[in-house]
Structure formats: C-alpha cells, structure tokens
Amino acid sequence: MDISFDKLPVSLEELMALPYASLNEPEYSAALFVAVMMNYSKDKEQTYKMLEFLKGSYGLTPYEKSFLADRMADGDHVVRSFFKGTSPENDYTPSMPYTIEAERGVDGELDGRIKIYMTSSGADSKRHILLRHKPSTDQWFVEDQMLLAMIRPPKSEDPWA
C-alpha cells in the first residue's frame, strides 16, 4: 500500500488533521511513524508528542528517547531513505509527494500484532515496524520498530564515493 503526504506533519495538531491519523489500518500507523521522524532534527519535543500519539497507551520511554537520539545523531537520511525516489546517489532526496510503500508481513496478524515492512533505499532488505491492534477503537499503535538501523551513507558523505 502506498501512503502519500503533500506535507509532513510538524506538530500533533497537523498530525491529527491527516486522514491517516485514524490509525485504522496498520500501514497508516507505520507510514506516520516515518513521516513524524522527519521532524526530529527540527523539533524533538513536537516529535515526541506525535510519537506519544502513535504509541497509544505504551507511551514513549526515556530509553526510547535515548535510542532515537542515538539513531538520529548523524541526521535524518536514514528516515528519508524510506520515501520513494530516494537513493544514496541523490543524498536520499524524496520525490513529491512524499510516498512510502508499506506492506503487511506474510505472517499476518498474530495475537493482535502485525509487522509492516518498508523498503529503505539504503538497505539490502526491508525493515519492519511492529504494531498492536486496539479492538475497542479499531486502531493500530506502534509497539516497536526496527527501521532506524544503519544504511549506506549518502553519496555526499561517502568517503569512498
């Protein structure tokens, strides 16, 4: 499923105004995680508020904040790599509109959880995010993510390019 954004959210209010904020499809929640993380280097506090919404009752722990700080220390090119049109050669510059391809894992839903896989143009294999379904609201919330691992450096930062 392709999820497209004309503009990426920079606040909880902007996030809530998006049709995908219904979180009624796991692909919506997964794509919103990537869209929200694009704001991290500009405004951590607003990003944390948006992530709190995407995590639901899990909340965002101090450990997760520290993990995000570690993964985002080198910039947002890892996050940008999930948008269509990016590559190491173009320094992970997404095409417009911002589009993310998200697909359900072959295991399907298990115990109210599902893995959504996304392609990073800087990695050799797809990365996943684990979502949990809340039946009372029919929403999918972020439980864990394996998206922010290292990728190939952008060409402008690659000493071997």
Percent of all residues in the chain with a pLDDT value above 90, rounded to a whole number? 84
Structural domain for 34, as ranges: 2-152
Task: Tell me, yes or no, whether 25 lies in a domain.
Answer: yes
Task: Tell me, yes or no, whether 121 lies in a domain.
Answer: yes
Task: Tell me, yes or no, whether 74 lies in a domain.
Answer: yes
In this structure, what DSSP letter does residue 156 have? G
Residue with tokens 């999820």: 3
Task: Tell me, yes or no, whether 161 lies in a domain.
Answer: no
Q: For position 38, what pLDDT does the model report?
A: 97
Task: Tell me, yes or no, whether 125 lies in a domain.
Answer: yes
pLDDT tens per residue across span 125-148: 999 999 999 999 999 999 999 999
pLDDT tens per residue across span 21-74: 999 999 999 999 999 999 999 999 999 999 999 999 888 999 999 999 999 988
b/e for 115-134, b at 16 or more Cβ within 10 A? bbbbbbbbbeebbbbbbbbe
pTM of the model: 0.94
> In the chain, how many domains are there?
1
Task: Tell me, yes or no, whether 157 lies in a domain.
Answer: no
